[in-house]
Amino acid sequence: MSGPKYPGFDTLALHAGQSPDPATGARAVPVYQTTSYVFRDSAHAASLFNMERAGHVYSRISNPTVAVLEERVAALEGGVGAIATASGQAALHLAIATLMDAGSHIVASTALYGGSHNLLGYTLKRFGIETTFVSPRDPENFRREIKASTRLLFGETLGNPGLDVLDIPAVSRVAHEAGLPLLVDSTFTTPYLMKPFEHGADLLYHSATKFLGGHGIAIGGVLVDSGRFDWEKSGKFPQLTAPYAGFHGMDFEEESGTRAFLLRARREGLRDFGACMAPMTAFQILQGIETLHLRMPRHVESTRKIVAFLSRHSSVQSVVFPELEGHPDNKIAKRLLPLGCGAVFTFDIKGGRDAGRRFIESLRVFSHLANVGDAKSLVIHPASTTHYRMTDEDLKKAGIGPGTIRLSIGLEDPQDLIDDLDRSLKASQR
Amino acid sequence: MNLQVDGKKAFAYAAAHEFEPAKPTVVFLHGAGLDHSWWGLQSRYFGYHGRNVLALDLPGHGRSEGPPIGTIEAMAAWVKKILDEKRIAAAALVGHSMGALVALEFAARYPEQAERIALIGVGYPMKVTDAFLEAAKRNDPTAYDMSTIWGHAPQVPLGANPNPGMWMYGDTLARLGRLAPGVLHSALAACNAYDGGIEAAGKLRCPVLFILGGRDVMTPARNAEALIKAIKAPARVQVRTSGHSLMAEAPDATLDALVEFIQ
């Protein structure tokens, strides 16, 4: 026997979760565009429904194409498994709905995607789940807001759009000392730049719409469980550790140990809320993941060139990027993100809101739209789009000013991007 | 199901059913460092098909209190105490890897209580490499890596999991990560030291089934030959594509073989 060796990231990105199709030998992942699956006989059907045999019953619960994506992302993240969802927002909702009832409480970072802020700050309140938002800069802020009803700590690996770097080791310690799991949104970093489970996170999700897909053609999310959080020991999650009448009296933790969270999330969450991923979407996102390890270094390399260009531009007031020495999270970024801080960052243009509008409307290569993580370079003005529901005070807490511009650097020739920015910055000052 | 053995808490998964003395019983015995949930699909099946199920957590594993038991013989004696406490006259025993050695030793020592035994992913002698033992002794994470990588067929990390959406390597590592220090080493050392296999095999009076993985790296199928030769008329099922973790890698084939053997 030789020593143990895991396959490398690049190999997993291409192969994990898929064997050549047993029916046809197809090497590419087939799109199983089917709603349902024929049972061998009545006994087989009963065994599948009762979880005595593994397999697929109905594509809202599981689908062979979607399962490849789920296993592949779990492999890249080092989790026990994953569930693909209709969107990143659906993944966040699935995590919360699996762990909480009315009366539960979340402590979340203020530096969140606007959609997540809406869900936590407004929509979930209607269902009795409250959230306290805290600045992620000091992990002790999370500890101070934990109360008896708290069930989750939540933040983004790189806060959107202020790029606060969540100190996952420190925040996870706070969470674990209180018997709570830490959930992180890992969309901006992808498993190529950071594996949050290695730093102490317990659950993570991606908006797979962004860098995982990378092509801007499919909306999807993936929720991944590390399997390391001990729900039984915590004692705060009867959803996973007590018999559940909604699934034949199953005690999910007793039944499956490390798989308890995903088991309930799939068997209840997908069954009842139904925010599953379509097989074609899974196929499209898989095409992106196959080149993730090639795309991310290029995203990072181009971003660094553009950050350097903007940092010395006379029309730019400031650039917010954790790799810059002046960024408050620079030291944490060096520790947690040695391969780079991604390809999304913000800068403030001189001249405020009007200059920002002129700048955006002068761009030719960058596309003005509400997305990030595309192969194409993107630009947006958060105060009037992704974060428009937030008050000025909340905007400030999230590190956004009225003239803040967010860029997502794509895979074009970086010099073309710099030329586009330079020309538009000049136009903005006229 | 919570039990007490020698004043310590022991746990048996019973597929959400009350124990019924009138029903036949199947006892599941996991391998080194694992727990009852490794048998999830198979144990659940028998629990819903007319059998009492006792998928045990051996001491120090899963929900059973430690310390771990240091020899296969003592583990077999511990299993007997469970059966005696539940007043089980005879049961089918299904063991995987270390658990298979325990089932073998149990059936040799207490033949009246072993109705039949199924030995999955078993080899004899079950020698453990020095590097593996040493790493486990140091509670070094590389021991978990060895257990995970050698515990599955080589194609597993690059192939599909029969259980949709699950990553077998990650699941195994997460389970091992929950072990108390020293538990894995104790279990591996017990496998390594066990030298009563051939003698036990010669004493067997009950039906015996071997379920072996054709791509088992941890206990290659050929390593079961000495036991098979020592047993009168054993049945054998070889799952060509599976590695050591047959219950996860080939859940249907494993269950089908068990159903045919036990039901």
B63 touches chain A (CB under 8 A): yes
Residue A4 falls inside a structural domain: no
Report the candidate in A308, A309, A298, A307 with the shortest Cα–Cα distance to residue A423: A309
Quick check: B166 pLDDT over 70? yes
Quick check: A153 pLDDT over 60? yes
Residue A1 falls inside a structural domain: no
Q: Is the ipTM of this complex over 0.90?
A: yes
Are residues A51 and A155 both part of a single domain? yes
pLDDT, averaged across chain B: 96
Q: What is the pLDDT of residues A256-312, one digit of tens each?
A: 999 999 999 999 999 999 999 999 999 999 999 999 999 999 999 999 999 999 999
Quick check: A2 pLDDT over 60? no
Are residues A407 and A278 both part of a single domain? no
**Residue A84's domain spans which residues?**
9-288
Are residues A118 and A177 both part of a single domain? yes
Are residues A135 and A72 both part of a single domain? yes
CB A93 within 8 Å of CB A140 = no
Are residues A80 and A187 both part of a single domain? yes
CATH number for the domain including A129? Answer: 3.40.640.10
Say what the pLDDT of residue B211 is. Answer: 97
Residue A356: CB atoms within 10 Å:
23
Say what the pLDDT of residue B220 is. Answer: 96
- A248-277 residues touching B, CB cutoff 8 A: 248-251, 254-259, 262, 266
Over residues B168-184, the mean pLDDT reads 96
Yes or no, beta carbons of B37 and A259 under 8 Å apart: yes
Residue A206 pairs in a beta bridge with A222
Low-confidence winner among A78-82, A120-124, A246-250, A322-326 (lowest mean pLDDT): A246-250
Outline where DSSP puts E strands in chain B. 2-5, 8-13, 25-29, 52-57, 91-96, 114-120, 208-213, 235-239
Residues of A in contact with B63 (CB under 8 A): 232
DSSP A29: P
Task: Give the percent of chain A with pLDDT over 70.
Answer: 98
Are residues A271 and A296 both part of a single domain? no
Residues of A in contact with B217 (CB under 8 A): 1
Quick check: A390 pLDDT over 90? no
- Determine the residue of chain A that is closest to B148 in CA distance: A4
- Determine the residue of chain A that is closest to B47 in CA distance: A52
Domain ranges across chain B = 2-262
Nearest to B41 among A4, A54, A67 (CB): A54
Q: What is the pLDDT of residues B207-227, one digit of tens each?
A: 999 999 999 999 999 999 999
Q: What is the pLDDT of residues A277-292, one digit of tens each?
A: 999 999 999 999 999 9
Total number of domains constituting chain A: 2
Say what the pLDDT of residue A3 is. Answer: 67
Quick check: A1 pLDDT over 60? no
Are residues A136 and A267 both part of a single domain? yes
Looking at per-residue pLDDT, the higher value among A389 and B225 belongs to B225
Low-confidence winner among A109-123, A298-312, A345-359, B73-87 (lowest mean pLDDT): A345-359
Are residues A206 and A351 both part of a single domain? no
Task: Using pLDDT thresholds of 50, 70 and 90, give the confidence band for residue A406.
Answer: very high
CATH topology for B2-262? Rossmann fold (3.40.50)
Are residues A54 and A138 both part of a single domain? yes
pLDDT, averaged across chain A: 94
Are residues A134 and A44 both part of a single domain? yes
Task: Give the percent of chain A with pLDDT over 90.
Answer: 88
- Determine the residue of chain B that is closest to A51 in CA distance: B41
- Helix/strand/coil for A119: helix
CB B120 within 8 Å of CB B96 = yes
Looking at per-residue pLDDT, the higher value among B2 and A384 belongs to B2
> Mutation test of the interface with chain A: which of B166, B244, B254, B255, choosing the one with the most A Cβ atoms within 10 A?
B166
Last residue in a domain, options A288, A320, A351:
A288
CB A255 within 8 Å of CB B63 = no
Are residues A81 and A96 both part of a single domain? yes
Radius of gyration of chain B (CA): 17
Are residues A247 and A338 both part of a single domain? no
Radius of gyration of chain A (CA): 22
Q: What is the pLDDT of residues B5-48, one digit of tens each?
A: 999 999 999 998 999 999 999 999 999 999 999 999 999 999 99
Say what the pLDDT of residue A398 is. Answer: 65
